[in-house]
């Protein structure tokens, strides 16, 4: 490695590396600044690869041939729908003669002619290129004479960095110069020093947006932004050692780059605006696709892949690229590896942006089909059996087509799962595997054979590879899709961490500006009797009562609205929006009502709210729906909320995942959050919103900040599964289940014999139901509700763990599978009935003295990576004992926790002091003589603050005097010594 000291030396070093990679160095004077081409190399390429076509064109245009071709290319590139990228990909037609301007790598080695043409692509580079009389570029790279990349270089050893290069691009480069013209000029522009690389595909002066193009620094919990420091090598060596290799550049242009077109209707004019973006893959996007393809090339469909990519990773494009490449990938024997690629998403309405991205890469008719909400399960089955290469669907459709698709075992599938969470577990995933492995066997099989086949289907199938994308892998997701590392832990195949995404500026740290609030209140009984009630159930009912208390809601709404108006509203040029996370549908309705009441009372016309919840809610005999309260259909909400008319969205279990609204700046949390839900919910705020410097704000009324930090720590860098569900685990749970003596082995055998009959008529169904009812009665007979609940929980745990085990391994145990089948049907019959219909505290408690007080404010987060997660095991299903206590005891316990933990006697004495001060007020005496009790309250509450201040001053003066005078302190407080001694001793 040379010791680079100057920019010029750095420039020379890179050119030498490029020449080693097969580039041809050409003179800058050959650059045609009006068309951004090197004519010498362009026509060398055309003459070498298409001599007959060039000869025919020369017969037509003679000495003007080169000018006509260059002009034709220019016209094609500069038209409204044209671009240099598309011109390179599809070539140009001159007098009905087609000229190719680039040759892509053939999928197989069969066609020797195409492979020979691919090798004839010419890569060249020039230094000190004049784009105009005022603009000189350090390095320009050409493909077949067409300028495709520019570089501004800086040497850190000379006191400059990539930031100086970015400044040059922004302030000293003219976006109208042909070399820099959007779409028609260079495909990408790099700002690079010895340590970091940034890039842009569009120069827009001072507002030009540059993206980092770095490898990431460190591994595992150390992974972050930047590049690693390497002994005897520059940190950006990957540029010339990898990215700028000829095969790599051709792959990027032909397989990755595309023009993204987004349409948006202008609210004022009603016209549709079109925004175009030239997409160049970020480093981690390129890296994940290449590493997955390399692994699949070797292992074919034998492996699963977990791809832990943070929000802000550009997952839609990653899935588009991966699906496109997997659909056309051939092995070393030139055989296609996957017959179909199936993209599964949790979202009910599939994102059409994905389809657009794939279609931008390949325009073949029928190459991709999106199964939208209008498509049926039969349509999906038909697509899987047909010639459609890529099928996009929701995973929920798979259970409905089990058994309807034939001849699937002969095909190989790549299944890409977007947001691999709960939908990847249990029956949906089992059904998916079953569909894609369904055979035609017509030979009669007994029950044992059918079960053995079902076990084989549910595990990892040799004809299916699954590629699961998620930012927050649960333990079960790691178990199903993770790879074992050298320490025996399951981890993702590829990681782009939250930490790196934050440091690179693609997402925001949502734990900055985090304020926690605590709600203080006083509970009392509203009845004379003091009933005994179940402690946990009573606490739940009381919490519900407090949450929906009108005073509590009104106070919180005031805090929310005033904070938004004073702190948030002006963000993003006045376009900022907020989300309120309520804990139930009833809360969502009541908070929306309180919101409207408050802004009406205050006369605010610049803030309006929408509400989002599922189904219908009945409150005080009145029915509410989301569409009824908002005034438009549910499906329109994302578009309506994006408009300037609405600033706040109140949600109940909706839009907390998968909702991308860049204008969201604030979140008000009224619901307890835990684990993955914490990260997913708060991550709605993390989207950047160029060109604005967006700030986020969180006001949390329900959670402790340390718990929030802990939840984020699991997904901040990498996530590692430290344990696994093994056969021992499931046998432990089975032993626990058998220990209750509620499942009859003979009944389980009979049930399975019925279950696997070719035809199950009504007579057999009755016999099956009888066996389930018999088990249900055995569970209920002579057992308390707590004991019944423990058995039901164990059954559910057994089912869940068994499903994970058979999906993640080749485990087979026919007797255990019979028990699983029986329990799967039995659990729907089981529901613990509380004797006497339970109890209802409605009207038996009352709450007052509500106060919303700010507890903590966190300006800078200090997230530490704590990557270890664990699967639930057999010994982790112990239920807490149900206690019964007096209602008054429960109320006292809650009061002690919500009353700032002040000593009750001290608080009472302090209040008595304030009462005495009020009693001495001449103003209040006068008001009491001349007004009714209701009118007197106005004067009373006007004097409260004065009394509090006076009481505080009196105590402060008295305590200060005691602290400063030892003699008086001993004299005054000494009188209590004997009393306290005997009280405490006794």
pLDDT tens column, 365-387? 678 887 777 777 778 778 888 78
Tell me whether residue 294 is exposed, middle or buried, using C-beta atoms within 10 angstroms of its C-beta: 0 to 12, 13 to 18, 19 or more.
exposed
| Sequence-separated (6 or more) residues with CB below 8 Å from residue 32 | 38, 39, 70
Instruction: Please count the CA atoms within 13 angstroms of the CA of 526 that sit on its side-chain side.
Output: 9
Tell me whether residue 388 is exposed, middle or buried, using C-beta atoms within 10 angstroms of its C-beta: 0 to 12, 13 to 18, 19 or more.
middle
Helix (H) or strand (E) holding 32: strand 31-32
pTM: 0.74
Query: 771 near 747, Cβ under 8 Å?
Result: yes
- As a whole number of angstroms, the distance between CA 550 and CA 233 comes to 66
Residues of the chain with pLDDT under 50: 348-350, 402-404, 406, 422, 440-444, 834-837, 874-880, 900-904, 907-908, 976, 984, 986
- As a whole number of angstroms, the distance between CA 243 and CA 214 comes to 11
Sheet of 305-309: strand order equals 368-370, 390-394, 340-345, 413-418, 464-470, 305-309, 494-496
| Sequence-separated (6 or more) residues with CB below 8 Å from residue 333 | none
Return the exposure string of 438-467: e unless at least 16 CB atoms fall within 10 Å of the residue's CB, then b: beeeeeeeebeeebeebbbbbbbbebbbbb
Residue 186 confidence (pLDDT): 97
Nearest Cα to Cα of residue 885 among 532, 542, 541, 543: 532
- As a whole number of angstroms, the distance between CA 765 and CA 190 comes to 69
Instruction: Please count the CA atoms within 13 angstroms of the CA of 184 that sit on its side-chain side.
Output: 22
Token pair belonging to 683 = 């991550």
| Sequence-separated (6 or more) residues with CB below 8 Å from residue 446 | none
What torsion do the CA atoms of 344, 348, 352, 358 make, to the nearest 10 degrees?
A: 0
- As a whole number of angstroms, the distance between CA 889 and CA 886 comes to 5
| Sequence-separated (6 or more) residues with CB below 8 Å from residue 912 | none
Answer left, alpha or beta for residue 215, where phi above 0 means left and psi between -120 and 50 means alpha: alpha
Token pair belonging to 815 = 């007797």
- As a whole number of angstroms, the distance between CA 254 and CA 714 comes to 38
- As a whole number of angstroms, the distance between CA 57 and CA 43 comes to 12
- As a whole number of angstroms, the distance between CA 313 and CA 311 comes to 5
Residue 901 confidence (pLDDT): 46
Tell me whether residue 662 is exposed, middle or buried, using C-beta atoms within 10 angstroms of its C-beta: 0 to 12, 13 to 18, 19 or more.
middle
Helix (H) or strand (E) holding 887: helix 887-898
Handedness of CA 168, 169, 174, 180 (dihedral sign): positive
Instruction: Please count the CA atoms within 13 angstroms of the CA of 283 that sit on its side-chain side.
Output: 26
| Sequence-separated (6 or more) residues with CB below 8 Å from residue 295 | 303, 305, 493
Task: Work out whether strand 197-200 and strand 390-394 pair parallel, antiparallel, or are unpaired.
Answer: unpaired
CA distances from 428 to 394, 799, 818 (A): 10, 14, 20
Handedness of CA 235, 240, 245, 251 (dihedral sign): positive
* Residues forming beta bridges with residue 668, ordered by sequence position: 580, 699
CA distances from 440 to 403, 405, 437, 444, 776 (A): 10, 9, 10, 12, 38
Residue 424 confidence (pLDDT): 57
Query: 311 near 501, Cβ under 8 Å?
Result: yes
Query: 701 near 521, Cβ under 8 Å?
Result: no
Length of the chain: 986
Task: Give the orientation angle of helix 785-808 with respect to helix 426-435, to 10 degrees.
Answer: 30
Helix (H) or strand (E) holding 328: helix 315-328
* Residues forming beta bridges with residue 274, ordered by sequence position: 263
- Chain center to CA of 60: 58
Residue 836 confidence (pLDDT): 40
- As a whole number of angstroms, the distance between CA 941 and CA 947 comes to 10
- As a whole number of angstroms, the distance between CA 74 and CA 51 comes to 22
Query: 207 near 691, Cβ under 8 Å?
Result: yes
Nearest Cα to Cα of residue 482 among 766, 107, 880, 809: 809
Strand, coil or helix: what is 574? helix
* Residues forming beta bridges with residue 341, ordered by sequence position: 390, 414
Token pair belonging to 562 = 């005033």
Nearest Cα to Cα of residue 560 among 699, 672, 704, 702: 699
- As a whole number of angstroms, the distance between CA 622 and CA 639 comes to 28
Can you list the alpha helix ranges (DSSP code H) found in 462-534? 475-481, 498-503
* Residues forming beta bridges with residue 142, ordered by sequence position: 124, 147
pLDDT tens column, 817-849? 999 989 988 987 776 554 444 555 556 556 655
């Amino acid at each position: 490695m040379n010791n680079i000291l100057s920019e010029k030396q750095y420039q020379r070093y890179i050119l030498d590396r490029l020449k080693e990679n097969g580039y041809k160095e050409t003179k800058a004077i050959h650059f045609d600044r009006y068309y951004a081409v090197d004519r010498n190399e362009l026509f060398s390429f055309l003459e070498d690869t298409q001599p007959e076509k060039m000869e025919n064109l020369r017969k037509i245009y003679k000495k003007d041939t080169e000018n006509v071709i260059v002009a034709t290319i220019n016209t094609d590139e500069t038209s409204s729908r044209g671009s240099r990228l598309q011109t390179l990909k599809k070539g140009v037609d001159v007098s009905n003669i087609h000229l190719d301007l680039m040759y892509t790598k053939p999928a197989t080695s069969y066609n020797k002619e195409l492979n020979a043409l691919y090798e004839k692509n010419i890569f060249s580079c020039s230094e000190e290129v004049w784009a105009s009389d005022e603009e000189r570029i350090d390095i320009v790279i050409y493909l077949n004479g067409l300028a495709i990349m520019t570089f501004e270089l800086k040497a850190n050893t000379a006191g400059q960095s990539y930031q100086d290069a970015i400044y040059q691009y922004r302030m000293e480069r003219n976006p109208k110069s042909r070399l820099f013209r959007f779409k028609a000029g260079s495909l990408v522009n790099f700002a690079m020093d010895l340590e970091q690389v940034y890039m842009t595909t569009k120069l827009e002066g001072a507002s030009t947006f540059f993206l980092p193009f770095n490898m990431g620094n460190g591994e595992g919990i150390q992974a972050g932004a930047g590049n690693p420091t390497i002994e005897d090598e520059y940190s950006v060596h990957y540029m010339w050692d990898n990215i700028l290799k000829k095969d790599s550049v051709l792959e990027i242009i032909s397989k990755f780059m595309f023009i993204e077109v987004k349409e948006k209707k202008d609210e004022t004019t009603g016209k549709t605006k079109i925004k175009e973006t030239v997409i160049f893959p970020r480093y981690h996007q390129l890296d994940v696709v290449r590493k997955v393809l390399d692994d699949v090339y070797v292992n074919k469909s034998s492996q699963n892949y977990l791809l832990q990519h943070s929000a802000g990773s550009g997952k839609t494009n990653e899935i588009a690229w991966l699906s496109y490449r997997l659909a056309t990938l051939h092995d070393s024997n030139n055989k296609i590896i996957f017959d179909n690629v199936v993209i599964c998403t949790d979202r009910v309405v599939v994102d059409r942006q994905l389809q657009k991205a794939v279609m931008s890469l390949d325009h073949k008719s029928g190459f991709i089909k999106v199964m939208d909400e209008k498509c049926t399960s039969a349509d999906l089955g038909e697509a899987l059996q047909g010639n459609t290469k890529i099928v996009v669907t929701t995973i929920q459709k798979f259970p409905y087509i089990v058994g309807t698709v034939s001849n699937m075992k002969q095909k190989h599938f790549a299944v890409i799962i977007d947001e691999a969470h709960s939908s990847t577990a249990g029956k949906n995933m089992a059904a998916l595997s079953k569909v894609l492995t369904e055979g035609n066997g017509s030979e009669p099989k007994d029950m044992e054979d059918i079960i053995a086949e079902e076990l084989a289907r549910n595990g990892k199938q040799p004809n299916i590879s699954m590629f699961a994308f998620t930012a927050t892998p649960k333990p079960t997701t790691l178990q199903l899709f993770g790879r074992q590392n050298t320490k025996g832990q399951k981890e993702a195949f590829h990681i782009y961490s939250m930490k790196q995404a934050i440091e690179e500026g693609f997402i925001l740290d949502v734990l900055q500006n985090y304020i926690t609030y605590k709600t203080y209140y006083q509970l009392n009984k509203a009845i004379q009797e003091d009933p005994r009630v179940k402690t946990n159930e009573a606490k739940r009912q009381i919490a519900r009562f407090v949450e929906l208390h009108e005073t509590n809601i009104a106070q919180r709404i005031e805090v929310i609205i005033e904070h938004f108006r004073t702190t948030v509203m002006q963000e993003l040029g006045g376009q900022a929006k907020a989300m309120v996370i309520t804990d139930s549908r009833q809360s969502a309705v009541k908070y929306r009502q309180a919101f409207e009441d408050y802004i009406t009372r205050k006369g605010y016309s610049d803030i309006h709210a929408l509400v989002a919840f599922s189904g219908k809610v009945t409150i005080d005999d009145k029915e509410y729906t989301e569409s009824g309260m908002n005034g438009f259909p549910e499906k329109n909400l994302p578009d309506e909320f994006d408009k300037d008319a609405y600033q706040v969205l109140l949600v109940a279990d909706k839009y907390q995942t998968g909702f991308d609204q860049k204008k969201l700046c604030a979140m008000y949390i009224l619901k307890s959050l835990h684990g993955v839900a914490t990260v997913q919910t708060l991550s709605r705020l993390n989207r950047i919103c160029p060109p604005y410097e967006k700030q986020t704000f969180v006001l949390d009324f329900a959670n402790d900040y340390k718990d929030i930090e802990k939840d984020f720590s699991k997904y901040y860098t990498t996530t590692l599964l430290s344990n696994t569900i093994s056969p021992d685990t499931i046998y432990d749970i089975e032993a626990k289940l058998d220990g209750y003596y509620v499942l009859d082995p003979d009944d389980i055998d009979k049930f399975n014999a019925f279950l696997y009959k070719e035809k199950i008529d009504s007579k057999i169904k009755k016999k099956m139901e009888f066996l389930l009812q018999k088990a249900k009665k055995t569970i209920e007979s002579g057992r308390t509700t707590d004991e019944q609940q423990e058995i039901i929980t164990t059954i559910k745990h057994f089912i869940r763990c068994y499903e994970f085990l058979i999906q993640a391994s080749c485990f087979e145990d026919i007797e255990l599978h019979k028990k699983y089948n029986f329990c799967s049907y039995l659990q729907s019959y089981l529901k613990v009935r509380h004797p006497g219909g339970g109890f209802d505290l409605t009207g038996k408690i009352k709450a007052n003295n509500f106060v919303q007080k700010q507890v903590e404010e966190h300006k800078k987060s200090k997230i530490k990576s704590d990557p270890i997660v664990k699967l639930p095991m057999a010994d982790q299903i112990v239920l807490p004992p149900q206690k019964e206590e007096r209602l008054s005891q429960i109320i006292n316990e809650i009061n002690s926790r919500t009353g700032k933990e002040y000593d009750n006697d001290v608080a009472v004495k302090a209040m008595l002091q304030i009462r005495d001060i009020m009693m001495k007020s001449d103003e209040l005496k006068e008001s009491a003589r001349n007004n009714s009790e209701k009118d007197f309250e106005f004067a009373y509450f006007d004097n409260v603050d004065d009394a509090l201040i006076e009481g505080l001053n009196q105590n402060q003066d008295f305590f200060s005097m005691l602290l400063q005078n030892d003699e008086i302190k001993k004299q005054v407080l000494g009188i209590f010594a004997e009393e306290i001694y005997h009280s405490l001793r006794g």
